[in-house]
Structure 1
Amino acid sequence: MIRLISILLTCFILNTSCSSKSKEQTKHNCPKKKEDCPELVEFNSLDSLKISAHLYQIDDSSPVILLCHQARFNKFEYAGIAERLNKMGYNCMAIDQRSGGPIGDKQNLTYLRARKLNKSVDYIDAEPDIRASVLYLSDKFKSKIILWGSSYSSTLALYLAADMVEVSTVLSFSPGDYMADKKGSLVNVLKDFEKPMFLTSSKHEAKGVSQLLDKHKLTKNQIQFIPEGNGHHGSRTLWINQIGGEEYWIAVALFLKQLK
């Protein structure tokens, strides 16, 4: 397990966009008109269910991150997060998976379509949505994709990163062996995993994440980040003004920077 030492992080923050104030994080960085960013895009999942997504595109050549939400959530989990990643130089797309729900008055459109068609909306059923989204972005940008998951989708992200050549890197926020009975244990999936990988969670979840690595020794560009503070479950730990969120942002920015 690799801990990011505080001295390195303190030096790094002085030279990175992560030092931006919360007010700046809410601004869109897309070259389009403000009202057009993010852009609503829609495409088919592997079973032809229409997926809705927000595309935060800064240009045609920057690296691309696919953002996948946690249970009962939707693409708006990444409002604020995606804009900050834009400022760091990444195109992003946040999707509505069929296993999800509303955040306040913001609906999960993919979930609503799936229910209307009487499709199953369990965690495992979101896999074709994420897989189709990777393929959509890979074709659109003609590049490999950084796959980012939150809670249950972070577990699916690890399975798909191990399986799909279109995925170059994975960031997994609060993964667990939730689907071992259906897909085999992540412990075995990660045993020989060689792609760049960022694993993190709240502090009390860290032991469980470490257990996923029982058969794997972290190599170069592979990190399990454990926060100094209590942290939070899933990607919402990065929400604007989230208590303790900045130490995660520093760790994420450092991890992504070393890949460039």
Structure 2
Amino acid sequence: MKQFLSLILLFSSLFAVASEKVTFKAADGVEVVADLHMSHPKSAPLIVLFHQAGWSRGEYLEIAPTLNRLGYNCLAVDLRSGNLVNGIRNETHQHAKAQMRQTRYVDAHQDIEAAVSYAKSLTTGKLLIWGSSYSSALVIKYAGDNPDVIQAVLSFSPGEYFRSQGKPEDWITQSAKQITCPVFITSARNEKPNWEAIYEAIPVDGKMNFLPETLGNHGSSALWVRYDDHEAYWTAVVSFLKSLEK
């Protein structure tokens, strides 16, 4: 597995599949921008990728090609709560500001709803949602509130991040109780207390979690090749994705 994964990571960095920029509207009319990495037929599973706070779809510049190599199409989305990473400016944030819309974490939930709705038109296969930091909590909420829509969740460093924005202290945990699909949660080692109660609330057998032996890193960026422990995270992700094939 480790040798296979090392080859996948190498070839993904050398032969990244070109992406196409696409747009769709959120419920309040804000134009949401995303990169579509469509390297397989429509029948292949598709993963919708959401970034962490202050960032953009650029968080997935090297992650999406690896997922393509593993057999998945990807849609990397700019949420309105974000800014810049890896040289990619968050265009949804710019559009929301131009329309004088709020850009808090909670305001991005409607962008996730719009992205999933759009993604449903892109695949006849399984639909997965993947979040990083604040968006990793929002994808758990979406999965619990819409149990019949998606087939799996991957959540990198979730937590109850929304109390300062008027939400209950267990806002994510309450939705987690309604999840019916497999869920994968990971984070840096010291972040486990942020998501332990959320994970315990998920009532499905097909849930998995991973903590590295190292200190680890926050959010989906833990998978970036610049980090020495990135292969350990990738091994856990691949193991989860393989479990969905059974």
Judge same fold: TM > 0.5, yes or no.
yes
| 2:128 aligned residue (146, 154, 172) | 146
The one-letter amino acid of 1:203's match is R
The one-letter amino acid of 1:191's match is K
Partner residue, 2:101? 119
Structure 1 Cα separation of the partners of residues 70 and 199 of structure 2: 29
SS at match of 2:110: helix
Structure 1 Cα separation of the partners of residues 86 and 59 of structure 2: 11
Once the two structures are TM-superposed, the CA of residue 171 in structure 1 deviates from its matched residue by 0.4
Partner residue, 2:179? 193
Once the two structures are TM-superposed, the CA of residue 29 in structure 1 deviates from its matched residue by 5.3
1:206 matched to 2:195? The reply is no
Moved over 6 A (4+): none
Is the contact between residue 127 and residue 152 of structure 2 (CA under 8 Å) also seen in structure 1? yes
Once the two structures are TM-superposed, the CA of residue 93 in structure 1 deviates from its matched residue by 0.6
Once the two structures are TM-superposed, the CA of residue 160 in structure 1 deviates from its matched residue by 0.3
Is the contact between residue 43 and residue 123 of structure 2 (CA under 8 Å) also seen in structure 1? yes
Once the two structures are TM-superposed, the CA of residue 43 in structure 1 deviates from its matched residue by 1.2
**CA spacing shift, 1:101–1:194, aligned 2, 3 Å:** same
Once the two structures are TM-superposed, the CA of residue 203 in structure 1 deviates from its matched residue by 0.4
TM-score scaled by length of structure 2: 0.91
Partner residue, 1:177? 160
| 1:87 aligned residue (55, 60, 69) | 69
Partner residue, 1:7? none
Once the two structures are TM-superposed, the CA of residue 104 in structure 1 deviates from its matched residue by 5.2
1:245 matched to 2:227? The reply is no
Is the contact between residue 212 and residue 233 of structure 2 (CA under 8 Å) also seen in structure 1? yes
The one-letter amino acid of 2:224's match is W
Unaligned runs of 5+ in 1: 1-11, 31-36
Once the two structures are TM-superposed, the CA of residue 86 in structure 1 deviates from its matched residue by 0.3
The one-letter amino acid of 2:7's match is S
Higher alpha-carbon deviation: 208-217 or 66-75? 208-217
**CA spacing shift, 1:244–1:120, aligned 2, 3 Å:** same
SS at match of 1:65: strand
1:51 matched to 2:19? The reply is no
Higher alpha-carbon deviation: 191-200 or 18-27? 18-27
Unaligned runs of 5+ in 2: none
TM-score scaled by length of structure 1: 0.86
The one-letter amino acid of 2:158's match is P
| 1:61 aligned residue (43, 59, 79) | 43
Is the contact between residue 177 and residue 186 of structure 1 (CA under 8 Å) also seen in structure 2? yes
Structure 1 Cα separation of the partners of residues 159 and 180 of structure 2: 19
SS at match of 2:71: coil
Once the two structures are TM-superposed, the CA of residue 149 in structure 1 deviates from its matched residue by 0.1
Length, aligned pairs only: 240
Once the two structures are TM-superposed, the CA of residue 206 in structure 1 deviates from its matched residue by 1.3
